[in-house]
Amino acid sequence: MYVWTPPSIKFLRDASEYSDYYEQLAEKIFAYLQQGIRICDAGCGLGYLSLKLAQFSASVTAIDCSEEALEVLSENIHKFDISNISPRFGNIFECPPSTRYDAMVFCFFGNTQESLTIAREQCVGKVILIKKDYYEHRFSIGHHVLDRYSFEKTCNDLDENNIPYQKERFSLQMGQPFHSLEDAVLFFQIYSQDDQPERINEEMIRNRLIKDPSGRYPFYLPSEKRLGLIALDTEDIPDEFIISGKTMDRGNHRRRD
C-alpha cells in the first residue's frame, strides 16, 4: 500500500497544478459517460481527478484510505468552493454506498478482478478503468520493467472472460516541475526503483531536466504518460469473475511510476 509523505504530496501537487493532465483525462472519461450522473472516484489519492470529474457530474464520491491525501482534496474543495464532491476516508472494499453509483472510475487501481468485483457490488452503470500503457519505470536511473496491472494485461483478462468492453489508447503530458536541483534529486530518490536510490545525485539526473517552458520554475522533467482507457457495463461482469473480499489486495492508492 502506497504511503503518502509530505515530499511526495508536495511533488504531486506541483505536477497536478502545473499541467492540464487531469482536465484532459476527465474529458476522455466523459466521452464514455453521461453528464450529470453520480460517480465514485475509487482510490482518489490527492483528488485532482475528482475535482475535474465534478465539473461534469451531479456528484462525486472520492474514496481513499489515506487521511493525508484526502486533506489535500478537502483543502481544494474549500479553496474552489466546490459543493458536489464528498471525500470519504476508508477502504473502498468496505465502503459500499447507500445507493449504488451510476458510474465508477478506477484510475491506476489494483487488478482487473478487484476493480470489477467492487463495481458489481457498488455500481449500476459504466465502469471506467485507466491503466498504464508503458512498461518501463519513468523515474528510475536504470531500466526497470513494470509488469503489473497494465492496459494490455487488463484487456487480456477481459478477453479471456468474454467480457465486452470499449478501449482507447492516448498520451498525456504529466511532467514534474522543480524549485531546485536539490528537489529534483529528492524526487528521483523517492520514486526510483534503483537498488541504491540514496546514491542518486545531480549529475545523474541533470541531462533529464530542461528549463521550465512556463518560466514558473527553474527546472522541469518532461514526462509523457501513455495510457489506456477501458469502458464496460456493470451488467456484463459475470458472476464467475467475482472474487471474495478475503483474496483482495486491500490497498487502494494511486502510485507514481
Local confidence pLDDT in tens for the 257 residues of the chain: 678 999 999 999 999 999 999 999 999 999 999 999 999 999 999 999 999 999 999 999 999 999 999 999 999 999 999 999 999 999 999 999 999 999 999 999 989 999 999 999 999 999 999 999 987 667 777 665 666 689 999 999 999 999 999 999 999 999 999 999 999 999 999 998 878 888 889 999 999 999 999 999 999 999 999 999 999 999 999 998 888 654 445 455 455 66
Q: Model confidence over 7-27: pLDDT tens digits?
A: 999 999 999 999 999 999 999
Q: Are residues 145 and 194 in the same domain?
A: no
Local structure of 88: helix, strand or coil: strand
* The pLDDT of residue 122: 97
User: How confident is the model at residue 146, as a pLDDT?
Assistant: 65
Q: Would 53 be classed as within a structural domain?
A: yes
In terms of domains, do 168 and 182 share one? no
pLDDT of residue 14: 97
| Residue 87, domain member (yes or no) | yes
Residue 140 lies in a domain: yes
Indicate whether 154 and 56 sit together in one domain. Answer: yes
Contacts of 137 (CB under 8 A, 6+ apart): 144, 145, 146, 192, 193, 257
Give yes or no: residues 186 and 86 share one domain. Answer: no
Segments forming the whole domain that contains residue 71: 6-174+225-247
225 contacts 130 by C-beta, under 8 angstroms: no
If asked whether residues 201 and 137 sit together in one domain, one would say no
What pLDDT was estimated at residue 143?
Answer: 63
Residues 189 and 162 in one domain: no
Please indicate, yes or no, whether residues 38 and 78 belong to a single structural domain of this protein: yes
Same domain for 30 and 139: yes
Q: Does residue 253 lie in a domain region?
A: no
Is the domain of 49 the same as that of 71?
A: yes
Instruction: Give yes or no: residues 168 and 107 share one domain.
Output: yes
| Cα gap 254→208, rounded to integer Å | 24
Q: 182 and 100 in one domain?
A: no
Total number of domains constituting the chain = 2
Helix, strand, or coil (residue 53): helix
Task: Provide the CATH number for the domain around residue 86.
Answer: 3.40.50.150
Residue 108 lies in a domain: yes
Residue 255 lies in a domain: no
Q: Which long-range contacts (CB under 8 A, 24 or more apart) does 50-58 make?
A: 50/85, 51/22, 51/76, 51/77, 51/80, 51/82, 51/85, 52/22, 52/23, 52/25, 52/26, 53/26, 53/29, 53/105, 54/82, 54/84, 54/85, 55/26, 56/26, 56/30, 57/84, 58/84
Q: Which of 107, 86, 153, 135 is nearest to 252 (CA)?
A: 107
0.85 exceeded by pTM: yes
